[in-house]
Structure formats: structure tokens, C-alpha cells
């Protein structure tokens, strides 16, 4: 066995163990008995210890020094392992385990504070986590920008300054569009009535199938907060059902199908190698978002969906497919990021991005965070936050230490905009297929041009190769202005 072979064999086992830990997380959120909380924490803790020991195993360093990769793929595999090893080795074990312990406890404290609308019971915990994350960022950055070091964990190669410039360029057009929409005369109504649970699930399954989800390598379950989980031959989705709002179930499903479909689309030869996962959170989000929005909420696909929902439910109470399309794409004021529409979503993300940059840089204290949140929300959305659960307490991310994660949501939307333009150019007849409930031409194009490559290229290079141009916010903004301009008669 060469050093390269040893390295890859070791990595393969680590990938398999990491996949096991992820499967445990799925189990916890979908099927685990409610009384098994302590046991599961201990099981996950034991897996984390094993994985941490492997990620920092000094043999990796020796193999890396001696490895002689022969091909581009081998070269990239070595590069990715070296990057992870470098990261894992920089963070002291004691700090890593303290972070794991604190963020595990913080999740419950956050949930309780959100439930009771008591930020004061959560902010001291958040402060402790922020201090640990700043320490981690200092270790990771090695003298560079600490926030960039955290961002790099989710979006390799991205820089906060570039993202800030990108977002600053987008914000005015989004704010203007939002204001124009909310000021328009002709506002679409909301869907009325209740829609039975089982019928929603059946429709959601049909939608996942329409977007090419491979049921032999996945399944769908119910979760409080929908997520997707797994890779290769076992990539599962979840959804939720709100009986008064069938779009919640349907578009959660299509969104998660985008994530899982990406994993299912990766070249099988990369399975359980460092190239065998989606390459970044931003690219992942581009796949879920283009499925959910540019394709799933387009006029063509909603035409098919209108027909299917009309058959499935006794009385939809919607006149025709055009009215249905307007209802699906309804824009209303709201506090909550996860319930937001295509237009306002990025504004929610940008708010968090700016605040967390200041937190990590030490320019904003946790104590002043609620006030900063509320001031910024008023500025961007023109509405005052009514209570902390609708403001600073709404997202779990910071409680579990996810600083540097939020901007990947908006970046994913920008990527989706670029991909959508290229996809539409390449497939002029796509809407014909979508109108028949068949998204497979789009799925095949994404698979061929993007998904199959897994971790072979860096995120930005991958998007630029697939979309045939520079990453830019223009396609997304043009698409939004055109789509919502028509819907709202702007």
C-alpha cells in the first residue's frame, strides 16, 4: 500500500463513521422516542470523540507528506484532506470539546427562551458561545480575518468583504422591489380552507418524484424543521404539514429534494471520498433554491400543481392557474426568515450577516444585539419587531455556534440566479416539460453540469463553469424584478 492508499483507506472509514453520526441525527429528528434524549446525547458524544480523534490523527500528516497523487481527482482528494486536517489540528481539543458541550446545552436554553420570549435567559449563554467561537476563529485564521475563517468552514474560498460588497449592491434593488410590491393595488389573497394531512403528503411525494428524487436511495419523513440528511445511496428528506397551508409541505419538500437530489447526483466513484459530498453550503442552497423557486414557483410548474391540487382537494377555491400562480408567489410583511418569500428572504440574511460580522469582530456586544437587530429590521423592512421570538430569538444558528453560515443562504440564491439563466438558455423548451409536472430536463442539466462533480472544484469555480460566466447578482435580481413586476403589475 502506498501512503496515498493508506490515507484514502483511513479517510474512507472516517467518511463512513461521519455518515453514521449524520444518520443518528436524522433518527433523532424523525423517529427517536422522546424519552431517549440523554442516551442519544451520549451516543453522539461518543461518535464525536471517535471522529475528532481520527481527524487529528498524526498519521494523516505523515501520509500527506508522503502521498504522491497521480490524477486530478487524487490531487483534489489530497487537497481536501489536507485542508480538513489543517483545520482540525489548529483547534485545541479542549476548545473543541468545550464548544461541543456548550452548543449542545445552548440549544435547549435557546428553545426555552424563544418559547417564553425571554432573551435575558439566553443571551449570557450566547455570549459564552461567541467568546469560544472567537477563540476558535483566532486559531483557524492564523492571523487572518477571524470571520473569514469561520465562513470558510461553510463556503470555502469566500471572503466576507466580497460578500458584503455583493450584498450591498443587491440591497437597494431588493428594498425597492419589496416596497413597490407591498404598495401595489392588486394584492393576491391567501389560500383558504384546510387541506388533509395525508393528501398533502401524497402531493409532496409526487412533487419530489417530478424533480427526479430517487426513492430507492432515499425516503421522506416528518420533522418539525424540515431538513435533508445523508449522501450516496442513502439521502433522506423530511417535510412538515400545516393543514391550513399546503404550500408549506409542498415547497419544503421540493426544497429538500434539491439538497438530497444534489447528493444523489454526485458521481458514484466519489462515494465516501472527500469529493463525495456537496462542495459547500452555498452551492447546496443553490440546488434547493432553484428547485423550490425558479422552477417550483414558476408559472409553468404551478400550472401543473394547480391541476393536481384541484384533483386532490375537494374545493381549492381558486379560479384558475393564473390566480393560483399569484397566490403561490404572494409577498406579505413578516418577521420570520424561514416563512419569507423570494423577494424578502435575502434581506433577512443580510441583516444577520452584518450583525454576526460585528459580533465576531468585537464591534457589537451580545448585550446590545437585540437593540441592533430591532433597529436594523425597522430600517430594512419598515416594521418594528413586536417581540424577541419574532426577532433576535428566531433562529437556532448562533445558539449552536453557526457563525458564518447565514450568508451562504443568500449566496445560494445568487448562484441559483446564475444557474437559472444558463439553464433557461440551454433548455428553451423547459417550461413545456415543467407544465406537465416534469422537471427532469432541469435535473439532468444540473446533474451533468454541476452535481456530479461533487467536491472536485471549488464552489465559485464550479458555479462559473456550470453557468458559463462570472458569479453576479444580476441574473437573480433581473429574474425577481421581472417575475414580481408582472405578478404585481409594477
Which residues bind to a second copy, rule: CB under 8 A? Answer: 12-13, 16-17, 19-20, 23-24, 27, 31-40, 42-43, 45-47, 49-50, 214-219, 232-234, 236, 271-272
243 is catalytic: no
Nearer to a second copy, 27 or 79 (CB): 27
Separation of alpha carbons 113 and 8, rounded Å: 45
User: Least separation, in Å, of the C-beta of 7 and a second copy?
Assistant: 16
| Residue 337 grid cell | 426568515
Separation of alpha carbons 237 and 94, rounded Å: 34
Separation of alpha carbons 475 and 294, rounded Å: 11
Q: Is 244 helix (H, G, I), strand (E, B) or coil?
A: coil
User: Least separation, in Å, of the C-beta of 26 and a second copy?
Assistant: 9
Nearer to a second copy, 50 or 73 (CB): 50
User: Least separation, in Å, of the C-beta of 34 and a second copy?
Assistant: 6
Q: Is 228 helix (H, G, I), strand (E, B) or coil?
A: strand
Nearer to a second copy, 43 or 358 (CB): 43
Residue of 207, 200, 217 lying closest to 438 (CA atoms): 207
Separation of alpha carbons 450 and 457, rounded Å: 10
The active-site residue out of 155, 256, 263, 342 is 256
- Within 13 Å of residue 407, how many CA atoms lie on the same side as its CB? 27
Residue of 164, 180, 245 lying closest to 480 (CA atoms): 180
Query: Exposed, middle or buried by CB within 10 Å (0-12, 13-18, 19+), for 109?
Result: middle
Residue found under cell 430591532 = 374
CA distances from 482 to 184, 224, 366, 369, 489 (A): 15, 34, 40, 36, 10
Nearer to a second copy, 13 or 482 (CB): 13
Separation of alpha carbons 406 and 35, rounded Å: 32
User: Least separation, in Å, of the C-beta of 483 and a second copy?
Assistant: 36
User: Least separation, in Å, of the C-beta of 114 and a second copy?
Assistant: 24
Q: Are 173 and 482 in contact (CB under 8 A)?
A: no
Nearer to a second copy, 31 or 169 (CB): 31
User: Least separation, in Å, of the C-beta of 439 and a second copy?
Assistant: 21
Q: Is 316 helix (H, G, I), strand (E, B) or coil?
A: coil
Radius of gyration of the chain (CA): 23
Nearer to a second copy, 263 or 342 (CB): 263
Instruction: Catalogue the active-site residues.
Output: 256
Amino acid at each position: 500500500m502506498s501512503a496515498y492508499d493508506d490515507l484514502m483507506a483511513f479517510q474512507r472509514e472516517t467518511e463512513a463513521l461521519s455518515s453514521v453520526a449524520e444518520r443518528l441525527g436524522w433518527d433523532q429528528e424523525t423517529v427517536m422516542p422522546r424519552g431517549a434524549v440523554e442516551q442519544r446525547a451520549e451516543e453522539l458524544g461518543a461518535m464525536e470523540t471517535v471522529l475528532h480523534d481520527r481527524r487529528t490523527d498524526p498519521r494523516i500528516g505523515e501520509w500527506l507528506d508522503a502521498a504522491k497523487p497521480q490524477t486530478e481527482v487524487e490531487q483534489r482528494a489530497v487537497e481536501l484532506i489536507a485542508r480538513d486536517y489543517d483545520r482540525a489540528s489548529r483547534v485545541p481539543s479542549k476548545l473543541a470539546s468545550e464548544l461541543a458541550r456548550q452548543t449542545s446545552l445552548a440549544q435547549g436554553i435557546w428553545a426555552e427562551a424563544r418559547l417564553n420570549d425571554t432573551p435575558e435567559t439566553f443571551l449570557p449563554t450566547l455570549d459564552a458561545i461567541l467568546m469560544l467561537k472567537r477563540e476558535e476563529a483566532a486559531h483557524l485564521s492564523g492571523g487572518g480575518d477571524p470571520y473569514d475563517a469561520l465562513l470558510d468552514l461553510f463556503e470555502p474560498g469566500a471572503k466576507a468583504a466580497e460578500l458584503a460588497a455583493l450584498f450591498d449592491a443587491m440591497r437597494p434593488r431588493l428594498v425597492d422591489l419589496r416596497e413597490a410590491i407591498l404598495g401595489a393595488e392588486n394584492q393576491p389573497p391567501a389560500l383558504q380552507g384546510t387541506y388533509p394531512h395525508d393528501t398533502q403528503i401524497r402531493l409532496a411525494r409526487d412533487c419530489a418524484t417530478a424533480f427526479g428524487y430517487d426513492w430507492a436511495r432515499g425516503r421522506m419523513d416528518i420533522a418539525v424543521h424540515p431538513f435533508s440528511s445523508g449522501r450516496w445511496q442513502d439521502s433522506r428528506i423530511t417535510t412538515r404539514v400545516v393543514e391550513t397551508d399546503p404550500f408549506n409541505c409542498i415547497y419544503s419538500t421540493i426544497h429538500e429534494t434539491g439538497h438530497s437530489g444534489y447528493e444523489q447526483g454526485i458521481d458514484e466513484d466519489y462515494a465516501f471520498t472527500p469529493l463525495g459530498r456537496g462542495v459547500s453550503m452555498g452551492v447546496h442552497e443553490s440546488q434547493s433554491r432553484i428547485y423550490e423557486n425558479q422552477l417550483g414557483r414558476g408559472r409553468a410548474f404551478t400550472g401543473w400543481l394547480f391541476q393536481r391540487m384541484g384533483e386532490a382537494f375537494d374545493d381549492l377555491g381558486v379560479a384558475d392557474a393564473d390566480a393560483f400562480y399569484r397566490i403561490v408567489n404572494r409577498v406579505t410583511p413578516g418577521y420570520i426568515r424561514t416563512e419569507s418569500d423570494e423577494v424578502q428572504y435575502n434581506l433577512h440574511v443580510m441583516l444577520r450577516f452584518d450583525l454576526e460580522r460585528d459580533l465576531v469582530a468585537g464591534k457589537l456586544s451580545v448585550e446590545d444585539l437585540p437593540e441592533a437587530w430591532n433597529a436594523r429590521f425597522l430600517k430594512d423592512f419598515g416594521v418594528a419587531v413586536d417581540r424577541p421570538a419574532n426577532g433576535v430569538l428566531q433562529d437556532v444558528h448562533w445558539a449552536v455556534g453557526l457563525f458564518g453560515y447565514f450568508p451562504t443562504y443568500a449566496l445560494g440564491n445568487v448562484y441559483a440566479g446564475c444557474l437559472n439563466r444558463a439553464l433557461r438558455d440551454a433548455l428553451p423548451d423547459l417550461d413545456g416539460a415543467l407544465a406537465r409536472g416534469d422537471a427532469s430536463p432541469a435535473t439532468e442539466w444540473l446533474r451533468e453540469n454541476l452535481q456530479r462533480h461533487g467536491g472536485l472544484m471549488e464552489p465559485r469555480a464550479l458555479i462559473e463553469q456550470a453557468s458559463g460566466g462570472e458569479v453576479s447578482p444580476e441574473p437573480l435580481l433581473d429574474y425577481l424584478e421581472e417575475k414580481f413586476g408582472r405578478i404585481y403589475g409594477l
